[in-house]
């Protein structure tokens, strides 16, 4: 495993629509491992391949239970993810991004979603997510389409030193 460099704006890869994953071989498995290590080292709760200058539709997300802080975190690896269902209910929340350092913004997202994709071995998987987990998935999938959270809000600011914001 190796840490990868997280790119920041205005790097052009962050604004491109990423390519579908077709090969789940050894190089792909190494990429997944590197992304997980990079996300944890950052530290972040999610990372999309374009954030490490790889134009592939691949995300990793690691998040625990909102209700139980002592519950173990769950790791999700999704290739070619797509949101197949989304609640009508929208919720505002504060987001940060490893590729947009030192800024946060208030973004409206769907309260719950269903995501379909392929796991790290190329097998179909479906995830129903709500709350912060749903927000993280929406944020990461946006990266695959060249969208960054400031594109979805007019409210962006530099957080106070003691303000804790989960970063993707």
Q: In degrees, to the nearest 5, what angle opens at C-alpha 118 toward C-alphas 18 and 142? A: 35
What are the residue ranges of helices labelled H in 67-165? Answer: 131-144
Annotation marks residue 140 as catalytic: yes
Q: What is the mean pLDDT of each run of 10 residues along the chain (168 residues)?
A: 95 98 98 98 97 98 78 94 98 96 96 98 98 98 98 94 76
pTM over 0.85: yes
Listed in sequence order, the residues at least 6 apart from 24 whose beta carbon sits closer than 8 Å to its beta carbon are 79, 118, 120, 121, 122
> Which among 5, 37, 95, 140 is annotated as catalytic?
140
For 132, half-sphere exposure in the C-beta direction (CA atoms, 13 angstrom radius) is 16
Q: Which CATH number does the domain 12-157 belong to among 3.40.50.620, 3.90.45.10, 1.10.1740.10, 3.40.50.2020?
A: 3.90.45.10
Domain residue ranges of the chain, discontinuous segments joined by +: 12-157
CA–CA separation, 151 and 149 (whole Å): 5
């Amino acid at each position: 495993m190796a840490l990868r460099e997280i790119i920041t704006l205005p790097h052009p890869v962050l604004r491109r629509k990423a390519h579908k994953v077709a090969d789940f071989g050894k190089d792909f498995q190494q990429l997944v491992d590197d992304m997980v290590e990079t996300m944890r080292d950052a530290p972040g709760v999610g990372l999309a391949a374009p954030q490490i200058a790889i134009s592939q539709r691949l995300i990793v997300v690691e998040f625990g239970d909102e209700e139980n802080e002592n519950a173990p975190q769950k790791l999700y690896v999704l290739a070619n993810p797509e949101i197949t269902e989304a609640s009508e209910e929208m919720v505002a929340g504060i987001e940060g991004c490893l590729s947009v350092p030192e800024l946060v913004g208030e973004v409206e997202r769907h309260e719950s979603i269903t995501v379909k994709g392929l796991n790290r071995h190329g097998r179909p998987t479906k995830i129903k997510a709500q709350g912060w987990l749903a927000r993280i998935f929406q944020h990461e999938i946006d990266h695959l389409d060249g969208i960054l959270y400031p594109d979805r809000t007019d409210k962006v600011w530099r957080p106070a030193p003691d303000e804790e914001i989960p970063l993707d």
